[in-house]
A and B are shown apart, each in its own frame.
Chain A
Amino acid sequence: AQRVTQPEKLLSVFKGAPVELKCNYSYSGSPELFWYVQYSRQRLQLLLRHISRESIKGFTADLNKGETSFHLKKPFAQEEDSAMYYCAFHGGATNKLIFGTGTLLAVQP
C-alpha cells in the first residue's frame, strides 16, 4: 500500500539556519509528490509539487527514487516559515491523496 512517512514530529531551528524536513514514501511506481503547509490560523495549502521542480518561498524538494525520498529544504530559515508541513502522495491504482503525519517547524529568533 502507498504510504508517506515523516519521521520528525517537531523540528526546531534558529533563524538563518538550514532546514530539512524529511519525507519518505513507499510506492513501486512513479509517485506524484507534494508538500503542503499550514500556517497558524490558516487553511492547509499547497507549497510545492515535485513535477514543477520549482522553488517556493525559498523551499525546494527533490525526488530521489533510489532512496524513495522527497525531503523539503531551505538554506536559511525565517521566522515566518514556522508552520506545520505535510508531505503528500497522489496517484497509484486507487488515485488517493495521502498525507504524512506532518512536521511542525519552529524557527526561533
Chain B
Amino acid sequence: DGGITQSPKYLFRKEGQNVTLSCEQNLNHDAMYWYRQDPGQGLRLIYYSQIVNDFQKGDIAEGYSVSREKKESFPLTVTSAQKNPTAFYLCASSSVGALTEAFFGQGTRLTVV
C-alpha cells in the first residue's frame, strides 16, 4: 500500500525531549522531503534530500535534523530546540526531476506536552 510509510501515526512526547519520526519508501525514489502541515499555513518544507548522504535545509529547518544513510529511509528528528513542535508531519518521495510526481505518506501527528 502506497510505497511510502510513516511511523508512528500518533506520537506523544514530553517537552524537552528529542523525538525521531520514521519515513521509509520502497519506490526506488532518490528524492525525499519532510513537511510540516499546520492549519492555515499549508505545507512548509523542513528538509529535503535528492541523493543518499546529502540533504538540504528547507524553509523551516531550525530545530530539526535529518539523515539519509539509505536510499529508502529519511528519518526526521524534532529536537528540543524546536519551539512549537506540536504539528502534523508529512514525508514525501519522488524521482529526481522537475516534472515528477511526489508520493506522500499518511503523516505523523506529534503532540508535545
Contact = CB atoms under 8 A, between A and B. Distances in A.
Interface string A8-22: 010000000000000
B92 A49 contact: no
B45 A98 contact: yes
Contacts of B104: 43-45
A3 to B, nearest CB: 10
B96 to A, nearest CB: 8
B56 interface: yes
A97 B45 contact: yes
A30 B29 CA distance: 24
A46 B108 CA distance: 20
B86 to A, nearest CB: 19
A11 to B, nearest CB: 15
Contact of A101 (B33, B40, B58): B40
Given A43-B2, A86-B42, A99 B98 contact: no
B40 A96 contact: no
Interface string A76-105: 000000000010101100111111111000
B94 interface: yes
B74 interface: no
A49 B48 contact: no
B56 A99 contact: no
A97 B2 contact: no
Interface of A: 6, 9, 32, 34, 36, 43-46, 49, 51, 86, 88, 90-91, 94-102
